[in-house]
Structure 1
Amino acid sequence: MTTNGAESINATLREPKEYPIIALLEAMQAKVSEWFNNRRNIMASINTKCTPLTPKAENIIRKIFKKASEMNVKQLNRFEYEVTGKENDAIIDLGQRQCSCRIFDLDQLPCVLALASYEQARIEVYDLCFNYFKLESLALAYVDTIYPVPQQEDWDVNEVEVLPKVLPPNFPIKCGREKLKRIPSVGKGKNG
């Protein structure tokens, strides 16, 4: 799960990785600041009156909506429904946001079976979606500004307690030139 993120950062910082640590940190700060600003601008351009969901979540729901309208729904109680279709049969609990197919539980977005029953329950579709699929949550993720680190002369180090000098660990020195590229894991070729 974390490999793709690490690979993306490594690819982005391929050149700055060779810099001294302060220059590397400044390059990282500049890149993260650029990303946050780009995403903030994207969030500002999204029309929030159409939907409270992120565009990706909205697209997922729209794709399965037609299939959901073709299913049979039988109410069991206020929030529980039995949904039957050509391939799927399930019990939906809209109050707990659960489905016996487990897709609703795991994805945290309504599955096709939950979408089939929302209208009969008189519940808004967007209320079935968890908050982190909503534009508000996405906007809050990028609300902070990433400021550059001030010049070293401007640092106030009077309040910082002096720590003992930390030396690098003792590793045996290997023969030959140091490898700059990593060795791909099993199953990954040159292009993987």
Structure 2
Amino acid sequence: MGFEDRRDSWFPNAEHRHCVRLLYNNFKAKHPGEGLKQLIWNAARSSIVVWFNKNMADLRKLSEAAWTWFQDKNPAQWSKAYFRDESRCDILLNNLSIVPARDKPIITMLEKITMDMMVRQSNRRVACERWKDLVVSRIKKIIDKTSQRATEYRAHRAGELIFQITGCGEHDSKHAVDLGLHTCTCKMWQLSGIPCVHAICAIRFKKQEAALYCDDYLMPSTYMEAYNPIIYPIVGQED
């Protein structure tokens, strides 16, 4: 049984994604150019299939060879448009790095990873104790930044919790928001668990706080529960 077969049997519900930065670095070795780079990242960030297809069609117009390079790359592994939304994670990059330990013998490498994770867990617990908001600090910053763009949209009530959101000026778009189901047709809310700009527009219409509509995963209590386990120190090789 190969590694992928074992992985599928051990973690049958796990979603396999690529780091788009690494994917693009492999791509640009044969297909350099700022225009191609922008289209690839636009396709990766597209949250719905229509937008993904539009960016890939533009890529094909610009370079048939560049478009062909992606044909054996499953978009479910590198574009938000095809990500499952159960995990509430829309991350495109793998920022966990063991570069300082990669050239070490296996025991030394694992000890380095253990030490880093032990300190990381502890620092996260300390940081969480200082939070006073309904959601973790990073999520609050995202909400605040997204809220600045909400004035570019208008909310039209269709029901108590259902809204049509229309863009103003250059944001000439329409989306349907259901505050009860925590969904928007742009799919960004479902992917991240954080209300998108369209949802925030509807929430403002109801004069409510956007943080109240965040997923439970993003609450300090859940965060603390995730980082509560302690990775205990170990003795050195001489012992």
TM-score (norm 2): 0.52
When residues 91 and 7 of structure 1 are mapped into structure 2, their CA distance, relative to the original with a 3 A threshold, is closer
2: CA distance between counterparts of 1:81 and 1:139?
Answer: 34
Residue of structure 2 in register with 1:161 after alignment: none
Q: Alignment partner for residue 97 of structure 2, among 4, 8, 17?
A: 8
Q: Alignment partner for residue 165 of structure 2, among 83, 87, 95?
A: 83
Tell me how many residue pairs correspond in the alignment. 147
1:104 is paired with a residue of what secondary structure? helix
Q: Is the 8 A contact 1:26 1:149 kept in 2?
A: no
Residue of structure 2 in register with 1:39 after alignment: 124
When residues 148 and 47 of structure 1 are mapped into structure 2, their CA distance, relative to the original with a 3 A threshold, is closer
Q: Is the 8 A contact 1:78 1:121 kept in 2?
A: no
When residues 98 and 5 of structure 1 are mapped into structure 2, their CA distance, relative to the original with a 3 A threshold, is closer
1: CA distance between counterparts of 2:95 and 2:161?
Answer: 42
Counterpart amino acid of residue 193 in structure 2: Q
When residues 151 and 62 of structure 1 are mapped into structure 2, their CA distance, relative to the original with a 3 A threshold, is closer
Structure with greater helix share of residues: 2
Q: Alignment partner for residue 56 of structure 1, among 130, 133, 138?
A: 138
Counterpart amino acid of residue 12 in structure 1: P
Residue of structure 2 in register with 1:183 after alignment: none
How far apart are residue 150 of structure 1 and its match? 6.6
Structure 1 gaps of 5+ residues are 155-192
Q: Is the 8 A contact 1:79 1:121 kept in 2?
A: no
Q: Alignment partner for residue 74 of structure 1, among 140, 152, 156?
A: 156
Name which structure has the greater RCO, CA cutoff 8 Å, separation 6+. Answer: 1
Identity, % of aligned positions: 25
